[in-house]
Amino acid sequence: MTSSFSNLSLAEPLARAVAEMGYETMTPIQEQAIPVVLQGKDVMGAAQTGTGKTAAFALPLLQRMMKHENASTSPARHPVRALVLLPTRELAVQVAEQVKLYAKYTNLNSAVVFGGMDMKPQTLELKKGVEVLVATPGRLLDHIEAKNTVLNQVEYVVLDEADRMLDIGFLPDLQRILSYLPKQRITLLFSATFSPEIKRLAASFLQDPVTIEVARSNATATTVEQHFYSVSADDKRRALHQILKARGMKQAFVFVNSKLGCARLARSLEREGLKTTALHGDKSQDERLKALEAFKSGEVDLLVCTDVAARGLDIKDVPAVFNFDVPFNAEDYVHRIGRTGRAGASGLAVSFVASSDQRLVADIEKLIKTRIELEPLEFEEDMPRISEQGRINDGRRMYREGEEGRAPESRQPPPRERTERRERREYTPHRQPAASRDPFFDRPYEPGSAPAESLPSWEASAKANPAHNGVSANIKPKKKIAALFKSS
Ligand code: AMP
C-alpha cells in the first residue's frame, strides 16, 4: 500500500499544493480513501475529525475534475461538479479553506455558502461559476430556490459529518438537495458513527459503497490524558481555575451543554480575569468567526462553546479541553476531546462530574469502552470558592450585582433566517441513559443497542423526551437563587 503522496501520481498543481502544505505521508483515512475515490467508487467512511479526512475526499475529487480544468472566465465553463455538504457554518468555512488551498494552483474554482449571512456576496461568487461548492443544507436550498446555482452537472457529492446533519434535522433538506442532482454520480459519506440512521441514509443514496473505518469511530485518541473529577456544580469554576493554574495552561476549550450556560460561563470567567469568549449557535455569524479568530490568534485564552458550534473545528494544539458539563450525548464526548491531542500531540481532557451526571458518565464508559475512575479534586487553600453569583468566600464581590442572569439571547435576537433556525438546535438527545457497570463492557460497541435507537434519532428523541415549553426534557428546571444563600 502506498503511504506517500508522491506515489499517488496526483496532477502537478495538486502535488505542488500538497508539498507546499508540508504533507508527505498520507494519514490512514487518506491512504485508504484516496485510491477508492480515484477509482470512482462510493465511500462510506468513519473517521474522527482531525484525521485528515478533508484531503481524503478533496484531493481525489480535484484530481478527477482536472480534466474539466479551464482558464475561461465564462461561468458556463465552470459548473458545479462537486458538492460538499456540512452541518455547520464553521465546518463549511473550514473545509472550504482547505479545498481552496489544495486547488490553489488549478483553474478549478470553489466557494462556500452558509446561513446567517447576507446571500448577496455568496450569490456573486456562485454566478462567477464554481466547480466545488461547499455548503450547509438550508442555505444551499435558499440559493437553489433563488436560482443562483444549478446543480445538474454535479458529479460528486460529499455528505460530511452526516451523523450530525441528521441530529440537527437536516434529513428532509438533504433529501431535497439530492433529488436535484443527477442520478449518475459518486457519493461519499463521512460520519463519526455508523448508526442505524446513517446506514439507512447510505442505503438510500450510495451505490455499493466501499466502507472505510480507519480507527474506531468511538475511540478517543491515546495521546489524550483523560480525567473525570467529582466536582459539585458550585465548585466547577473554582476547579477550572485551579487546574489551569496547576498545569500552567494558557489555552483551552470549555464545553457546556446549553447556549445560555455558555454565555453565562464566558461572562463569569471573563470577570474572574480569564480572557474568554463564547461560541454558540445564537451568536451571529460575524461574532462566531471573530471568536474563533481571537482564539486562533491567542488573543483569547478560553473558548467556551457548545457542541454544535464547536464540532469538527480544526484548531490544532489546544492543550486542554474541559467538559464543564458532561455531554448529554456520549458521542459528543469523543468529538469534544478530539480538539486536543491531535496529530500525535499530547492533550488533556478534564470532565467535571456532578453527582447527577453519573449516568452520563456510564454512557461515555460504554461508548469508549474504557472504565472511568472518578477522581476527587482537592482544592488548594489559595483557591477561593466562587459562588454562582460571583461571590468569593471572603465576601468580596467579583463583579456588580445583577449582571448575571440575563442571557445575551434576550438582548440580541438571532437572525431569523431559516438556516440559522435549523442550526440553532444545540442538542438532540437520542440515547436513553444506561445503567452503570454491567457486562456490556466486554462486548464490542454496537451503535443501535440502546432502546431508543430502534427508531431514527429524530423520531426517538421526540417520543422519549417530549420538550416542555421549548426546553429539552433533559434540562432540569433551574434552582432558584440557592447559590446566593450558600455558605462557603
Ligand atoms: P481534517 O481531519 O480534514 O480536519 O484535517 C485535520 C488537519 O490535518 C488539517 O489541519 C489538515 O491540514 C491536516 N492534514 C491533513 N492531511 C495531512 C497529512 N497527510 N499530514 C499532515 N497533516 C495533514
Chain segment 295-344, per-residue pLDDT in tens:
888 899 999 999 876 665 666 668 899 999 999 988 889 888 877 776 55
Tell how far the Cα of 30 is from the centroid of ligand 1, in angstroms.
10
Give the 3-state secondary structure of residue 23. Answer: coil
CA separation for the pair 390, 277 (Å, rounded): 18
Who contacts 175 (Cβ-Cβ below 8 Å, separation ≥6)? none
Task: Compute the radius of gyration of the chain from its Cα atoms.
Answer: 23
Nearest CA to ligand 1 atom 14: 52
Question: Is the CB of residue 206 less than 8 Å from the CB of residue 44?
Answer: yes
Ligand 1 atom closest to Cα of residue 51:
2
Candidate from 4, 24, 30, 54 with most ligand 1 atoms within 8 A of CB, to mutate: 54
Tell me the pLDDT tens digit for each residue of 148-206.
999 999 999 999 999 889 988 899 999 999 999 999 999 999 987 788 889 999 999 99
Task: Give the pLDDT mean for 215-228.
Answer: 70
Tell how far the Cα of 372 is from the centroid of ligand 1, in angstroms.
30
Tell how far the Cα of 51 is from the centroid of ligand 1, in angstroms.
6
E-state strands within 272-398: 276-279, 302-305, 320-323, 347-353, 374-376
pLDDT the model gives residue 289: 76
Nine-digit cell string for 443: 462486548
pLDDT the model gives residue 102: 97
Res. 443: pLDDT tops 50: no
Q: What angle do CA 479, 388, 436 make, to 5 degrees?
A: 60
Nearest CA to ligand 1 atom 1: 52
Ligand 1 atom closest to Cα of residue 312:
4
Candidate from 23, 158, 217, 316 with most ligand 1 atoms within 8 A of CB, to mutate: 23
Nearest CA to ligand 1 atom 23: 52
Residue 424's pLDDT band (boundaries 50, 70, 90)?
very low
Nine-digit cell string for 218: 468511538
Tell how far the Cα of 127 is from the centroid of ligand 1, in angstroms.
30
Who contacts 168 (Cβ-Cβ below 8 Å, separation ≥6)? 87, 308, 422, 423, 425, 428
Tell how far the Cα of 52 is from the centroid of ligand 1, in angstroms.
4
Question: Is the CB of residue 412 less than 8 Å from the CB of residue 344?
Answer: no
Nearest CA to ligand 1 atom 9: 52
Ligand 1 atom closest to Cα of residue 5:
19
Task: Give the pLDDT mean for 426-448.
Answer: 30
Nine-digit cell string for 369: 469502552
Nearest CA to ligand 1 atom 19: 26
Count CB neighbours of 367 within 10 A: 24
Percentage, residues of the chain above pLDDT 90: 52
pLDDT the model gives residue 338: 77
Ligand 1 atom closest to Cα of residue 21:
12
Tell me the pLDDT tens digit for each residue of 102-156.
999 999 999 999 998 899 999 999 999 999 999 999 999 999 999 999 999 999 9
The whole-model pTM stands at: 0.59
Nearest CA to ligand 1 atom 5: 52
User: How deeply is 381 buried, as exposed, middle or buried, from its count of CB atoms within 10 A (0-12, 13-18, 19+)?
Assistant: exposed
Tell how far the Cα of 55 is from the centroid of ligand 1, in angstroms.
7
pLDDT the model gives residue 485: 37
Lining residues, ligand 1, CB within 6 Å: 23, 25-27, 30, 49-55, 314
Residue 468's pLDDT band (boundaries 50, 70, 90)?
very low
Considering 219-233, 380-394, 471-485, the range whose residues carry the highest mean pLDDT is 219-233
Res. 478: pLDDT tops 50: no
pLDDT the model gives residue 423: 38
Nearest CA to ligand 1 atom 8: 52
pLDDT the model gives residue 299: 92
Percentage, residues of the chain above pLDDT 70: 73
Tell how far the Cα of 343 is from the centroid of ligand 1, in angstroms.
8
pLDDT the model gives residue 385: 59
CA separation for the pair 304, 315 (Å, rounded): 14
Candidate from 93, 95, 314 with most ligand 1 atoms within 8 A of CB, to mutate: 314
Tell me the pLDDT tens digit for each residue of 44-75.
998 766 778 999 999 999 999 999 999 999 99
Candidate from 14, 18, 21, 51 with most ligand 1 atoms within 8 A of CB, to mutate: 21
Beta bridge partners of 452: none
Average pLDDT, the chain: 77
pLDDT the model gives residue 343: 56
Tell how far the Cα of 98 is from the centroid of ligand 1, in angstroms.
9
Ligand 1 atom closest to Cα of residue 23:
20
